[in-house]
Amino acid sequence: MNYKIRTVTINDAQKIYDMGKECFDWYFERMEWSASTVSYCIDCHYDSSFVAAKNEEVIGFILTFIRDDIGYIGWVAVTEKYRRKGIGTELVKRAVTSLKEKGIRTVASHVRFDDSSLAIFEKNGFKRSNEIKIEMIKEI
């Protein structure tokens, strides 16, 4: 499959919002998120964030941020049509490498027990740090 991973831009906000709503409907039902919220997060908070694009179509994304010298993966998603093709894994690898280049030595993410991204994190060397809500963590 031919796709490119590139740094996220403000222009990706609406596509990321739409994909997030599709992939995380359980979350969007409880939160008051909008494309403007995503734009704000991209502009102000997210470091080492990327999209996977096939031609100009965004088919996946990963949004990360840094807090207290820890890199956090806040969102990772791939559209249903392109899942199970290694795109999520590549997005995680790219984000972890970028965070490491910024001097980050620990990367974490909160994952639901029934979340399909759990396998992506485990494939990338993350380990469970607790069992109540799964927080995935990797020393780099």
Q: What averages of pLDDT result for each successive group of 10 residues across the chain (140 residues)?
A: 91 88 70 76 79 93 89 89 92 94 90 69 81 64
125 backbone φψ class: left, alpha, beta (φ>0; ψ -120 to 50): left
Domains of the chain: 4-139 (3.40.630.30)
pLDDT at residue 7, rounded to an integer:
92
Question: What length is written for the chain?
Answer: 140
Q: pLDDT at position 93, please? A: 94
pLDDT score for 61:
93
* pTM reported for the whole predicted model: 0.82
Helices (H), the chain: 13-23, 25-28, 35-44, 87-101, 117-123
- Burial class of 36 by CB neighbour count within 10 A (0 to 12, 13 to 18, 19+): exposed
**CA 133 – CA 63 distance, rounded (Å):** 20
Task: Please give the pLDDT value at position 132.
Answer: 43
